[in-house]
Structure 1
């Protein structure tokens, strides 16, 4: 098929397992293995060691077509929780990063999730400060400013907050605080990957 020829020509392999693609974007085995998990007030696709390749392909490889595939099991898991959500938003990025990359992966995923869930998607938060990426630092070393995110809209009800990777929980915690300040009475999280399983519990 044409897609197979083109992806082969580009040197693409399956971002899930690194093997040969027998279907567009993600091999049939990895497609069948997609399943989301729930932990308290969070839903995630898997630990980074298992799904990190798919995250990197979406985040850095510009393989946008992966987003609907990955959103499907996440949406199913969210619906199963019965959270009674009012809307969906995502962790925002700074404008320079958005200009360089051309898109914000959490927002791309959030918009698809909102459509699957039949909910509105709104840009409720703005990122007010730059912080360096700290993907491998433990929770004890991540101290982010309280005003990292600021609300730009008023909301109400329960909201779904989307990010691509949960590392220490610090970024999500600051965004959750800002979303509560915006008027949400409860905030739930959705992630593609989790680096530190300990961050799935209440963050301190």
Structure 2
């Protein structure tokens, strides 16, 4: 790819169902990806398991949104293999600065221990990556993100790919054609992420909890 990434270019790509990745953190170029099968997380299908609800009730974790976006991206990149290089890091931070990218941060004793971040266009949320350094922190972040999206009127949570972890939380695969139809509908709807600040973990919707 010869054209440098920019916030406008990235938003245009997302509207077409395309997103960028780098081969490694040290790569000097990025490439565009458009999966034949797309991962999505139905917002009404996500469920908080009994064990995760127990984690939430312990009170040792807290959550916020948009208080340390760059820290979440760094956390997602801090692994042996990552597709987040310097250019990708910078452009997503720029998207956040202009209000088009958001994060949920999870904290333990004042330390950032998990999070998830993504891009918003209309009523679509394009989840980019998540990380966790303590048990269940990424699940807490995802639960908070889903609750925020539901409350704010979003209709699409794009996870790009499906992993066993996402599948266990309700994620599914759809064809490119199905995804593009849902994408077109979502980006022409209106929704806003909402203000930054604390997310009360004891106020997550009860219908997100497994009853069995």
* Greater length-normalized contact order (CA 8 Å, ≥ 6 residues apart): 2
Same fold judged by TM-score > 0.5? no
Normalised by the size of structure 1, how large is the TM-score?
0.31
Normalised by the size of structure 2, how large is the TM-score?
0.30
Larger strand fraction of residues: 2
